[in-house]
Amino acid sequence: MNDDTSRRAVQAVWQDFRADAETLRPTLYRFCRHLTRTPWDAEDLVQETLLRAFASLATAQDSPRNPRAWLFRVASNLWIDRVRRREPQPAPDETRAGAPSRAVREAAGTLLSQLSPQERAAVVLKEAFDVSLDEIAEILSTSIGAVKAALHRGRGKLAEPDVEAARTPTPAVLDAFCGAFNAGDLDRVAALLVESATVEVVGASVVQGRAKARTTVLPGMLLGSARMATVEDGGRADGIHPRLAQGVLPRPARLEVRHCHGEPLLLSWYQHRDGEAVRAVTRVEIDEETSHISRIWNYFFTPEVIAEVCSELELPHRTNGWSSPCVKPLS
């Protein structure tokens, strides 16, 4: 078996795994969102969890008896390890001073940042998902007594909801990026990226370098609606799945800067037969020396992220599924 054949075989198995996991993905995202502070961190944890779970199947003798608990266990371990590797957090008064309260987003309430990783995981599993004590103990690889203690401590620290993060001013490069994008000038858009920029369609693809981004991801962000609009009802056209259509019109997307979770975001507005709606959320990282964009995260195949951001901003939106096996890069 040559390298190309092996790669295609692995990709096929990965796509089958993602298809099987898709039914559990909303629940997994909600669990990760309770643990993390932002939708970006939650989506990152979801992606890492799925990759780690997929890799672990290679050495597993049997399929997991309880797939939900299995994914929760993988996510909990990854998150606890990640938190423990971080630098000590500032005291609560330093992180919360001067910011107004926001409404609780989840019915279970939001946990204060001073909860330990295991306390937070235990409370989320019990209060938000009503997982039994013995199952929580299995997920967290601990005893029922330790779970009871973590729940007692964690519930005692539940108090007020998260605070709204201080708003970060909009960098001038984002206004320039939107202006060039909305004018359809992809050369000018690409020129606002550093030469070594990384552009990621989260959960789908990553490209390195301004030149590569100019010929692949950036045209897709601007003109992908034209290919989506070729889908016929109940069928496929040009390899695009009908779920991506939803009445979209073959017109270039429009970018707009909005603030959410304390940072400026780029929202992609698509034209549909019944009006405009947001179909993607994009975050950027700015290189301090050049004031150009060094990294782009395009959240197109992340329905939970799109829904959360647009719900908080009270904007119409449509989502695009969780994977892109049928989407071809534009040239």
By C-alpha distance, which of 270, 264, 303 is closest to 282?
264
Domain spans of the chain? Answer: 3-157, 172-313
Each residue of 193-204: pLDDT tens digit?
999 999 999 988
Q: What is the torsional sign of CA 180, 186, 191, 195?
A: positive
Q: Average pLDDT, stretch 247-270?
A: 95
- Residue 97 has a pLDDT of 37
For residue 155, give the amino acid letter: R
Tell me what percent of the residues of the chain surpass a pLDDT of 70: 75
Q: Please say if the pLDDT value at position 321 is more than 50.
A: yes
- The average confidence (pLDDT) of the chain is 81
Q: Please say if the pLDDT value at position 26 is more than 70.
A: yes
Q: Please say if the pLDDT value at position 129 is more than 90.
A: no
Structure tokens at 85: 């590797």
Higher pLDDT, 26 or 84: 26
- Residue 87 has a pLDDT of 47
Each residue of 147-191: pLDDT tens digit?
888 887 777 665 444 445 566 778 999 999 999 999 999 999 999
- Residue 90 has a pLDDT of 44
Q: Which range among 49-53, 205-209, 271-275 shows the weakest confidence by mean pLDDT?
A: 49-53
- CB of 230 closer than 8 Å to CB of 238: yes
| Cα angle: 108, vertex 279, 39; to 5 degrees | 30
Higher pLDDT, 5 or 178: 178
Higher pLDDT, 138 or 97: 138
- CB of 145 closer than 8 Å to CB of 183: no
Q: Strand runs (DSSP E) across the chain, as ranges?
A: 193-201, 205-208, 254-260, 263-272, 275-286, 293-299
Sort strands 205-208 and 275-286 into parallel, antiparallel or unpaired: unpaired
Q: The sheet that has 205-208: what strands, in order across it? A: 205-208, 193-201, 293-299, 275-286, 263-272, 254-260
Architecture of domain 172-313: Roll (3.10)
Structure tokens at 190: 């690409």
d(CA 192, CA 181): 11
Q: What is the DSSP letter of 314?
A: T
Helix (H, G, I), strand (E, B) or coil at 200: strand
Q: Average pLDDT, stretch 88-98?
A: 41
Answer yes or no: CATH 1.20.140.160 is held by domain 3-157: yes
Higher pLDDT, 37 or 237: 37
Q: Please say if the pLDDT value at position 94 is more than 60.
A: no
Whose tokens are 């290919």? That residue is 227
d(CA 268, CA 89): 34
CB atoms < 10 A from the CB of 101, how many? 11
Q: Inter-axis angle of helices 67-85 and 39-57, to 10 degrees?
A: 120
Q: Please say if the pLDDT value at position 103 is more than 50.
A: no
Phi, psi of 239 (to 5 degrees): 80, 5
Each residue of 230-248: pLDDT tens digit?
875 555 544 466 777 889 9
Q: Strand runs (DSSP E) across 184-309, as ranges?
A: 193-201, 205-208, 254-260, 263-272, 275-286, 293-299
Higher pLDDT, 95 or 275: 275
Q: What is the pTM of this model?
A: 0.78
d(CA 41, CA 319): 19
Q: How confident is the model at residue 96 (pLDDT cuts 50, 70, 90)?
A: very low
